[in-house]
Amino acid sequence: MFHEDAEALTGGTDLLLAWLPEGAGRSDAWDRYFANAPLPVARPEEVWDAELANAAVDCLFRFLRALECRDVDEAMACIAPDYHTFEGGREQDREGLRQKLEYAFDVWRQEEVRLSLAEVPDPVFHPAGILIQSVLQIDSRNAAGEHRTQVLRRMAVFEETPHDGWLISALSDVERT
Q: Which domains does the chain have, with CATH numbers?
A: 8-37 (no CATH), 50-173 (3.10.450.50)
Check residue 111 and give its pLDDT: 80
Q: Using one digit for the tens of pLDDT, what is the confidence trace for 102-136?
A: 998 888 887 888 889 999 999 999 888 999 999 99
Q: Please give the Cα distance from 149 to 158 (Å, whole number).
A: 27
Q: Please give the Cα distance from 70 to 1 (Å, whole number).
A: 71
Q: Using one digit for the tens of pLDDT, what is the confidence trace for 79-92?
A: 999 999 988 788 99
Query: Which one, of 168, 142, 141, 172, lies nearest residue 155 by Cα?
Result: 172
- Average pLDDT score over residue span 90-103: 92
Helix (H, G, I), strand (E, B) or coil at 110: coil
Q: Please give the Cα distance from 48 to 53 (Å, whole number).
A: 8
Q: Using one digit for the tens of pLDDT, what is the confidence trace for 44-88?
A: 565 678 889 999 999 999 999 999 898 999 999 999 999 999 887
Predicted TM-score (pTM) of this structure? 0.69
17 or 107: which leads in pLDDT: 107
pLDDT at 170 over 50: yes
